[in-house]
Structure 1
Amino acid sequence: MSRKIHEIRKDLSQMIENYRKLGEDKKEEAQSLLTKVDEYTRELNDAIVVDAADKALAANHISDNERREINRFSYAKYMREAIDGKLSGFESEMAAEAKREATNIGVQLKGVGIPHVVLSNKRAAAGQNVTVPADGGFLVQEEGLVYVDALRAKLILNELGVTFLTGLVGNLPLVKGGQFTAQWLDENGEVEDEKTSFSKYLLSPKRVALTGAYSKQLFIQSGIDIENYIINELTTAHAKSLNEAMINGSGASGEPKGILNLDGIGSVVGGENGAVLDWKKVVGLETAVAVENADLGSLAYLTNSKVRGAMKTTEKSQGTARFLMEGGEVNGYKTVVTNLVPADIKKGTGTNLSAMIFGNFADVVLAQWGGLDFIIDPYTLAKSGDIKIVANAFHDLGYKHEKSFAAIKDIITE
C-alpha cells in the first residue's frame, strides 16, 4: 500500500535527526542514511505525482451522459464559426468553459479556447466515405481517438514510459534531496549541526505554439472527414514539439530543458573530436546510471536512425558476428529511435555527431494544463483565401531524478 506524502516527509525528518546524533566513527551509518534520503526523495516525488494525477482525474471525471453531450462538439463547426468570430450553440458554451478553465490555472487566453474536458473526452469520427454501387453508398464509422489519447500515441517517448499528467490545476512541486557532508574533527572536537538541504522546483504552465495555414474552403467542405483531419494535424505538430523539448529542450526562452541539456546526468565521452560507438561505450551508459542506484523502472535507450544503422553493423568484438544492436534491442533493453535526437552536434573538429541516451524514462514528468487556445486569423492570408491558425498549449517538463539518465553526445556515424 502506497504511503502518504506526509508519512514520507516525516521519515525524512527523522533520518536528519538520526544523522545529527551520529558520532564521527559512524561513517557507515551516515552513508546508509544518505542512501535512504535518496530513496525517500524518489518515493516522495512519486507520491506527489500520483497525488496530482488523482486530483486531475477526479476534477475531469464526467458521467456517460456528460460524455455523450461533449460528443456534440464539432471541431469543424468550431473552426468555421471562429473564422467569423461568431461561435454558437454548444461550441460557444465550450469556449466559455475554456475561458473559465484558463482562469483557474492562471492563464489568459489569447484567442478562443477548446477546454481540456473536450480534448480528453470528445471522440472524433474515424470513419471514411465508402461507396457501394449496389447500395448507393453509405458512411462507415469507427470509434476514433480523443485528442489526448491521439497525442500520447504520437509521442515517441510515450513508448519509453514517460509519466504523462493532464488536466492539472496549479503548479506541481517536485523535490530534490540534498546530501550529507562529512567533517574531520580532533579527538574531542564537536560536530557542527547540519541540515540536509532539500530544494523544491515547480512545474508550471509554459506556452507552446502550434502554427499552420489552411484553406477557408477546407472548413466549409462536408464531403470528407474534416474532424479527423484537424485532430491529426494538431496532434502531429503538438507531439513533435513535446518530443523535441523532452529530448533536447534548451531551457531558455520559455522552453523546458531536455534530457541532453540536464545538469547532473551521467556522461560517456567518445573523444576529443567524437568517436565511433563501441560495446564499452554502450555499457558505459548503463554503468553511469547503475552507480547512482538509478537502474530501475522504465529503462531504455533512445537514439536516432544514424546510430541505429551504425549499431546494427558494428560487432561487439571483432569476428563474433554479434552486433551492438540485435532484434531491436541493445544489451536486452528496449531501444527507441527518432530523428529528433540530434545528429548535427559539433565537437572539436568533429561535425554531424549524434547522441544516445540511456535511463529510466518513468522519471520524466510531462505535465499539461488546460486545453488549447486558438488564434484564428482570416486577414493575413486573405488574398489567397487561406486562414492562419495559431494554437497554444500549456506544458512543462520535470525530472524526478537527473541521475536516472546518462548520455553520449559525440558519436561518429559516417
Structure 2
Amino acid sequence: MKIQNEVADSFIGMSDQDKARYSFSRAVNAAIFGAKDQDFIKAAGFELEASAAAAKHQPNYQGGVIIPWDMMGHRDVTPFNTRTLTAGTATDGAELVADNLLAGSFIDVLRNRCVCMSLGAVKLDGLVGDVLIPRKTSGAVAGWISTEGGNAGNSEAQFDQISMKPKTAAAYTEISRNLRLQSTPAADMIIKDDLTGALAVLIDKAAFYGTGADGQPKGISLQTGINTPTDFAAAVPTWAEVVAMESAVAVDNALQGTTGYVLEPAMAGSLKVTEKIAATGEFIYDGGKSLNGHKVAITSQITAGDMFFGNFSDLIIGFWGGLEILVDPYTHSLSGTVRIVAHQSIDVAVRHPVSFAFNNDGS
C-alpha cells in the first residue's frame, strides 16, 4: 500500500533577519513593473529569490509570487473575501497615509478566532500529489484454544485508505497606486495579514463545516461515522448532555490524544450560569481553559447551538505549497489600483470519525 505523495519541506530556512528584511510591497511592485523597469527587479531581488525557493514546493506553479511559509508561521491557518484599500478614501486606506502614522497602533478588523491548530490538529506541509494514507479499520482478534493441540482461530487485520486532494481557498484585496507609493512599511504586514487572516478563517471553518462539495473539503460535522448523541433538549445543554459527548467518544476507545470541546460564545456564556446540579453552586463552565477536564475553545466559527468534542490530533489539515500571490494590475489600470489575489490549496481529513462527537439542540 503506497502513499501517493511526496512531502517536501515548504519552509525555506529564513532567519529572523531575513524575515525583517522581506518586503511584500517590493515583491508586488516587481510583479507589476518588473517587465518594463529592471530597477524594480533589482530592488526585489531578495523577495524574488525567496519566492523562487518556495515555488519549488508549489505543485502546478502558476508564476505568481509565493510567500514562504517562514513568513506565515505565526498564523493558525469563506466564498471569497474581498477588501479594497485606497489612499484617498476614509476607512479604505487613507488612514495608512499620514504625517504621523502610528503603524504600531493599527486597529485590525475583528475576525472569528481560529481554533483547530491550537486544539492539536495535525498540519501536513508541502504536499505535492494526491495523498492516500493507509488506515487499519480492524485488528486481529485473539481467542481461546478449547482443546489441547487445537488451532488458534483465524483472524486478519482489515485496512482502507484516507484520501486527500487539494481544494483551493482564495481571497483578494485591492490597493491604490498612492497607497503603494506613500504608505509606511507597516502596510506590507497589514495587506498580507488581511489576506492570510481571511484564508485562515475560511480554512478553520471548513474543518468544522466543509460540505465536501462545491470545491470545499469535508469537515468534521459531515464525516460518516461521527458520534451524534441525542439532541440537546434545549438551546443550552445540561451537564449530563455535555458529559455524554465525551462518553460517546470513550465508548469507541477514541478518548485519547489532544481532546477538547468547541462551542460558540453565547453558549459558553450560558454554561457559566448553568449549574451542573441544581442548588449546588457549581457551574458547567467556570470560564477557565477547560470544560469537563478537557480543553475548551470558544469561537464564532461555530453555529449557534452547536458543540463539538473530540481528539483533535485525529484531524489532519494538509497544505499544498505556500500561499501564492497573483498580482493583477490590469482590471483597474485606469486608476492605477492593483488587485492582489491569494490562493492556498488545502484539504481536511479525519483519521477516525468516532474520535469526534457533534451535537446541537436539533433546531
TM-score band w.r.t. shorter chain: 0.7 to 0.9
Amino acid at match of 1:268: P
User: Could you report, residue by residue, the CA deviation over 1:124-175 in whole angstroms, capped at 9, with x for unpaired residues?
Assistant: xxxxx9xxxxxxx9x999xxxxxxxxxxxx7422221111222334444322
Q: CA deviation at 1:222?
A: 4.3
Provide the C-alpha distance between the structure 2 equivalents of 1:255 and 1:397, rounded to a whole number of angstroms.
Answer: 9
Q: CA deviation at 1:224?
A: 4.8
Residue 74 (structure 1) aligns with = 23
Equivalent residues in 2 for 1:128-167 (5 A)? 155-167=114-126
Q: CA deviation at 1:318?
A: 1.6
Provide the C-alpha distance between the structure 2 equivalents of 1:383 and 1:140, rounded to a whole number of angstroms.
Answer: 29
Equivalent residues in 2 for 1:258-297 (5 A)? 258-270=219-231, 276-297=236-257
* Cα 1:411–1:280 shift into 2, 3 Å: farther
Amino acid at match of 1:78: A
Instruction: Determine which structure has greater relative contact order: mean sequence separation of CA pairs < 8 Å that are 6+ residues apart, divided by chain length.
Output: 2
Q: CA deviation at 1:292?
A: 0.8
Residue 181 (structure 2) aligns with = 220
Residue 145 (structure 1) aligns with = none
User: Could you report, residue by residue, the CA deviation over 1:326-382 in whole angstroms, capped at 9, with x for unpaired residues?
Assistant: 132321222101111112xxxxxxxxxx21001111111112121122232233344
Residue 113 (structure 1) aligns with = 65
Structure with greater helix share of residues: 1
Amino acid at match of 2:224: D
SS at match of 1:156: coil
Amino acid at match of 2:41: S
Q: Report the count of equivalent residues.
A: 313
Provide the C-alpha distance between the structure 1 equivalents of 2:320 and 2:120, rounded to a whole number of angstroms.
Answer: 20
Equivalent residues in 2 for 1:354-369 (5 A)? 354-369=305-320
Residue 88 (structure 1) aligns with = 41
User: Could you report, residue by residue, the CA deviation over 1:94-146 in whole angstroms, capped at 9, with x for unpaired residues?
Assistant: 444454433xx3x242x512153653689xxxxxx9xxxxxxx9x999xxxxx
Provide the C-alpha distance between the structure 2 equivalents of 1:248 and 1:394, rounded to a whole number of angstroms.
Answer: 17
1:305 aligned to which of 265, 275, 279: 265
Gaps of 5+ in 1: 1-8, 10-47, 123-128, 130-136, 142-153, 183-191, 344-353
Provide the C-alpha distance between the structure 1 equivalents of 2:171 and 2:136, rounded to a whole number of angstroms.
Answer: 36
SS at match of 2:25: helix
The 8 Å contact of residues 115 and 370 in structure 1, kept in 2 or not, is answered as no
2:57 aligned to which of 84, 101, 113: 101
Based on CA coordinates, which of the two structures has the bigger radius of gyration? 1
The 8 Å contact of residues 270 and 277 in structure 1, kept in 2 or not, is answered as no
2:170 aligned to which of 209, 214, 237: 209
Using the TM superposition, name which of 231-240 and 301-310 deviates more: 231-240
* Cα 1:270–1:276 shift into 2, 3 Å: farther
Using the TM superposition, name which of 192-201 and 294-303 deviates more: 192-201
* Cα 1:121–1:325 shift into 2, 3 Å: closer
Q: CA deviation at 1:406?
A: 0.4
Amino acid at match of 1:116: P
* Cα 1:72–1:400 shift into 2, 3 Å: same
Residue 80 (structure 2) aligns with = none
Residue 249 (structure 1) aligns with = 210
Provide the C-alpha distance between the structure 1 equivalents of 2:17 and 2:124, rounded to a whole number of angstroms.
Answer: 24
Whether 1:392 aligns to 2:343 is yes
* Cα 1:377–1:270 shift into 2, 3 Å: same
The 8 Å contact of residues 101 and 115 in structure 1, kept in 2 or not, is answered as no
Q: Please report the RMSD computed on the Cα atoms of aligned residues, expressed in angstroms.
A: 3.7
Provide the C-alpha distance between the structure 2 equivalents of 1:411 and 1:261, rounded to a whole number of angstroms.
Answer: 15
* Cα 1:88–1:239 shift into 2, 3 Å: same
Q: CA deviation at 1:402?
A: 1.2
**Structure 1 length normalisation: TM-score?**
0.65
Provide the C-alpha distance between the structure 1 equivalents of 2:159 and 2:299, rounded to a whole number of angstroms.
Answer: 36
Provide the C-alpha distance between the structure 1 equivalents of 2:53 and 2:320, rounded to a whole number of angstroms.
Answer: 14
Amino acid at match of 1:88: I
The 8 Å contact of residues 277 and 411 in structure 1, kept in 2 or not, is answered as no
Gaps of 5+ in 2: 75-95, 105-112, 142-152
**Structure 2 length normalisation: TM-score?**
0.73
Residue 90 (structure 2) aligns with = none
Residue 232 (structure 1) aligns with = 193
Q: CA deviation at 1:180?
A: 7.1
SS at match of 1:211: strand
Residue 145 (structure 2) aligns with = none
